[in-house]
């Protein structure tokens, strides 16, 4: 697939040096999700306190797009309230639909914007964000 060079560098950096990859013992919620198209799997663990995401870690296997997206997402949500985290996930969906969304200080995430031209890859990029949504919805209901 063709992505702009700068964007490719950002994605490869997160892929090779993933932020928050691993597991934690003191998670509040764990979400396991598969990408149905390829069978790759992500486990997202969130630690929450007083309606805020205080820590996030992910594990599992996937392609460079899915793992770099998980790396960026886990970095982006730490310290966010549920509402803020869901709002970020919403903005990410818009980015995947081709909308010119800006992420201000989280500009690494914009590196994934080129993915919207590759429908199969959108599933890779959104896997971690879907796990985030599920994790927060689960917390809001409990």
Residues making contact with ligand FES (CB under 6 A) = 1, 35, 38, 40, 62-66, 124, 127
Q: Which is nearer to ligand FES, 30 or 64 (CB)?
A: 64
Main-chain phi, psi angles of 84, to 5 degrees: -65, -40
3-state secondary structure of 89: helix
Q: Provide, rounded to whole angstroms, the least separation between the CB of residue 37 and ligand FES.
A: 7
Closer to ligand FES at the Cβ: 35 or 59? 35
Q: Minimum distance between the CB of residue 62 and ligand FES, rounded to whole angstroms?
A: 4
Q: Smaller CB distance to ligand FES: residue 8 or 78?
A: 8
Q: How far is the CB of 123 from ligand FES (least distance, A)?
A: 7
Q: How far is CA 64 from the centre of its chain?
A: 12
Residue closer to ligand FES, measured from CB, 48 or 132 = 132
Q: How far is the CB of 16 from ligand FES (least distance, A)?
A: 13
Sign of CA dihedral 78, 46, 64, 14: positive
Do residues 66 and 124 make contact, with C-beta atoms less than 8 angstroms apart?
Answer: yes
Q: In this complex, which beta carbon is closest to ligand FES, that of residue 48 or of residue 122?
A: 122
| Minimum CB distance to ligand FES, residue 97 (Å) | 18
CB 90 within 8 A of CB 123: no
How many angstroms from the chain centroid is the CA of residue 116?
15
Quickly list H helices, 1-142: 5-16, 64-77, 82-96, 119-141
């Amino acid at each position: 697939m063709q992505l702009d060079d700068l964007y490719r560098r950002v994605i490869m950096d997160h892929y090779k040096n993933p932020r928050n990859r691993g597991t934690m013992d003191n998670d509040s919620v764990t979400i396991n999700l598969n990408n149905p198209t390829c069978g790759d799997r992500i486990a997202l663990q969130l630690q929450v306190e007083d309606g805020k995401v205080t820590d996030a870690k992910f594990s599992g296997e996937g392609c460079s797009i899915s793992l770099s997206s998980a790396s960026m997402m886990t970095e982006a949500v730490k310290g966010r309230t549920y509402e803020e985290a869901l709002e970020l996930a919403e903005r990410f969906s818009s980015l995947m639909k081709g909308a010119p969304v800006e992420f201000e200080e989280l500009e690494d995430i914009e590196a994934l914007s080129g993915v919207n031209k590759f429908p199969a890859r959108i599933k890779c990029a959104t896997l971690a964000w879907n796990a985030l949504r599920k994790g927060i919805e689960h917390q809001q209901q409990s």
